[in-house]
């Protein structure tokens, strides 16, 4: 895990509450465009093989509601399970993207593995450094398991996957920003 991404995971029974924070030297428009470019996610996000917007509806005050289907795999060490998830996503003010899984199938376990999955990206502009824009990207997640996991295994798997995903976002933001911007900073 990179030192630039700060990840905290708390396990309460079979539920994991996670928070990952990353400061980026990039403008909010580029960061928002990266995290909401669902068609491009398979090209840079680990674990996502396919992603498509099934439905998109505009809402009041510049928001929108989306239904998104993702296919991929969940990896931990030598363990890998295919997954398919149907998400309801709310975009608000080009600053918050909240997702809730309405259907989650994990490999052999199908619907018997995950009870709840909710994720939230939030962008917060930071004071500019040397005239360059700065944005803090915060991702929070709630993951509820139906199957019991050994305590250390679940927390480590969630931590590693979140760190890998935010590091991938940082690389893609840097690529989209060009060579002089979007270097990950310390959280």
Q: For residue 167, is it within any domain?
A: yes
Is 101 among the domain residues? yes
Has residue 18 been placed in a domain?
yes
pTM of the model: 0.85
Neighbours of 154 (CB within 10 A): 20
Does residue 41 belong to any structural domain of this protein? yes
CATH classification at residue 79? 3.30.530.20
Structural domain count, the chain: 1
143 located within any domain: yes
Per the structure, the complete domain to which residue 93 belongs is given by 6-185
Contact 167, 173 (CB under 8 A): no
145-177 pLDDT tens trace: 877 666 567 788 888 888 999 999 999 999 999
Q: Is residue 54 part of a domain?
A: yes
CA distances from 11 to 8, 82, 129, 156 (A): 10, 23, 36, 10
Give the tens place of pLDDT for each residue, 39-68: 999 999 999 999 999 999 998 877 999 999
| Residue at 1 is within a domain | no
Bridge partner residues of 81 (DSSP): 74
3-state secondary structure of 171: helix
Determine the Cα–Cα distance for residues 66 and 149; give it in Å rounded to an integer: 32
pLDDT-derived band at 14, boundaries 50, 70, 90: confident
């Amino acid at each position: 895990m990179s030192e630039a991404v700060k990840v905290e995971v708390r396990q309460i029974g079979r539920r994991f509450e996670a928070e990952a924070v990353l400061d980026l030297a990039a403008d909010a428009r580029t960061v928002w465009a990266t995290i909401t470019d669902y068609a491009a996610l398979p090209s840079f996000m680990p674990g996502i093989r396919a992603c498509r917007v099934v439905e998109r509806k505009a809402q009041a005050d510049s928001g929108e509601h989306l239904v998104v289907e993702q296919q991929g795999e969940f990896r931990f060490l030598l363990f890998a399970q295919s997954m398919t998830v149907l998400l309801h996503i709310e975009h608000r003010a080009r600053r918050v993207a909240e997702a809730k899984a309405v259907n989650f199938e994990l490999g052999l376990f199908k619907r018997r593995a995950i009870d709840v999955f909710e994720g939230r990206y939030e962008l917060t502009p930071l004071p500019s450094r040397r005239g360059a824009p700065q944005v803090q990207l915060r991702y929070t997640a709630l993951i509820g398991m139906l199957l019991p996991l050994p305590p250390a295994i679940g927390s480590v798997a969630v931590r590693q996957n979140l760190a890998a995903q935010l590091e991938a976002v940082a690389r893609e933001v840097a690529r989209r920003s060009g060579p002089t911007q979007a270097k990950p900073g310390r959280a």
